[in-house]
A and B are shown apart, each in its own frame.
Chain A
């Protein structure tokens, strides 16, 4: 059995990766939003997520105890060493694609951090409590737009439906438990995500009904990220993200 710190390190790293990779995607909207207020709203989400990533990376680095910084974790790993869910690395697509991704993710995170705030690990509990406040806003933003696009024009309706359908196969991963989750769950440190699935599904259904949209049809669920197997998109993102760190390994910025 792996030692407890190692398990917590992995857990913290995964949560850091989810926030870091999604923040990167949202930051790509900057100067590309459908109107100025929404451009700024998307940047706000990205900034919250950067702050969250920093918190979980910092804790991971501490648990690892090898003198690394949060920047080393964010910038100095290869594709196969990132553990974010596939869903958060999916490209922004059009505005509906981004909103569908935000809806699936933020509703999940709402239930997830609501549980993690009761973790027996104090740092996780504190990070979760802070995150929960932000996630409530992220969820409200995603729900609001899902309803407006779903019940807006014919074009926005089908764009939103197509986005929901095409991202559906990446949602299964949110509810996977592996040995890290299970062992930490026994110590009341981690969240039982399997137990969140029904609530999540119900919540999504409620929103979609109000938005006059349909729940995506059940499909094969993609998997792999918890073992570091990603989509082709991640490597390109890291190529951009890590460019300066790789080109000037001795530089401090």
Chain B
């Protein structure tokens, strides 16, 4: 009995100390003790976030060579480059939890790790570039602003840095949509069509209703998560509906209406069958996105090997 206690107590003590620390709103740093479940939750969430930034380069990259003006091309390319940069910070931040980038990439390519569902939809017209910047980055910001106060220090610092750039992306996307809504009949039609296709998937980015979210209980207790999925979704809807109205876009939801009493917009039900279908791998482009990543990775293998071999040779030379 005594013997057993000495084995168990230290962990319990550490856990209660950890929870007290987090409860006071203090940050957890890589060297601090943390429960294994906290660590694995963060590895899952942060690597998924990093993969989303990287896979998100594909739908936007699809329009780089067809961007319709010098300025548009410049802005789009710089935006995609930012997203790649976000991927890099997030991979580094996740590495502080004891997983390597090589492992994370392998998990992505084998389907063990996920990325945001939204990038399994195709970018079909130039207006999709506007819609992605405005809606997808707009939804990401709402989520990321909340994560600026997440309990894990490296993650929260990465979010602070990333959020500044994301708000540029959101404005630039909105500007594309606004210009098109100010343009020819063809352009207006193109913009509304993009709105129709991206609205619902953007709402799904916040995840299932709170009752059905699989990892939320501890995530709240340990302050990884500060706001519920539905709360964040509502915030996004409220701000976006007004922006759409200003430029004359219609939200493709007949049930959408202002609720005076709540001070929020009520909205129609999300198609959760579609949500789970895409998560399970049957979205329009799940297979293409991963195949693209694998192809670039495999085609680059000889380059990475060459760089390693050169480094080794140089090290031998000077030893």
Which one of B166-174, B179-187, B227-235, B251-259 is at the A interface?
B179-187
From A24, A54, A57, contact of B65 by CB (8 A): A24
The answer to whether A54 touches B70, judged by C-beta atoms less than 8 angstroms apart, is yes
The answer to whether A50 touches B69, judged by C-beta atoms less than 8 angstroms apart, is no
The answer to whether B186 touches A253, judged by C-beta atoms less than 8 angstroms apart, is no
A30 to B66, CA, bound (A): 13
The answer to whether A71 touches B70, judged by C-beta atoms less than 8 angstroms apart, is yes
Assess whether B78 is interfacial by the CB under 8 Å rule: yes
The answer to whether A251 touches B84, judged by C-beta atoms less than 8 angstroms apart, is no
The answer to whether A149 touches B80, judged by C-beta atoms less than 8 angstroms apart, is no
Assess whether A156 is interfacial by the CB under 8 Å rule: yes
Interface size class of chain B, counting residues whose CB lies under 8 Å from the partner chain: 35 or more
The answer to whether B68 touches A253, judged by C-beta atoms less than 8 angstroms apart, is yes
Assess whether B109 is interfacial by the CB under 8 Å rule: no
A253 to B81, CA, bound (A): 21
Q: Count of A residues near B, CB < 8 Å?
A: 49
The answer to whether A155 touches B306, judged by C-beta atoms less than 8 angstroms apart, is yes
Assess whether A40 is interfacial by the CB under 8 Å rule: yes
The answer to whether residues A95 and B300 also contact, given A37-B88, A47-B81, A244-B126 and a CB cut-off of 8 A, is yes
A136 to B299, CA, bound (A): 28
Residues of A within 8 A of B88 (CB): 36-37, 40
- A-B contacts, CB under 8 A, total: 132
A74 to B179, CA, bound (A): 20
The answer to whether residues A50 and B309 also contact, given A28-B65, A30-B57, A31-B58 and a CB cut-off of 8 A, is no
The answer to whether B80 touches A95, judged by C-beta atoms less than 8 angstroms apart, is no
Closest residue on chain B to residue A20 by CB atoms:
B70
Assess whether B133 is interfacial by the CB under 8 Å rule: no
Residues of A within 8 A of B287 (CB): none
The answer to whether A152 touches B309, judged by C-beta atoms less than 8 angstroms apart, is yes
Tell me the smallest distance from the CB of B45 to a CB of chain A, in Å.
20
Closest residue on chain A to residue B296 by CB atoms:
A32
The answer to whether residues A245 and B306 also contact, given A37-B88, A44-B81 and a CB cut-off of 8 A, is no
Assess whether A252 is interfacial by the CB under 8 Å rule: yes
A206 to B4, CA, bound (A): 71
Residues of A within 8 A of B305 (CB): 152-153, 155-156
Chain A residues 140 to 190 lying within 8 A of chain B, measured CB to CB, are: 147-149, 151-153, 155-156, 159
List 20 extra interface pairs beyond A30-B80, A31-B61, A95-B303, CB under 8 A.
A27-B77, A30-B77, A31-B57, A34-B296, A38-B300, A43-B77, A47-B77, A75-B69, A94-B299, A149-B306, A151-B313, A152-B307, A152-B309, A155-B305, A237-B65, A250-B184, A251-B68, A251-B187, A252-B179, A253-B179
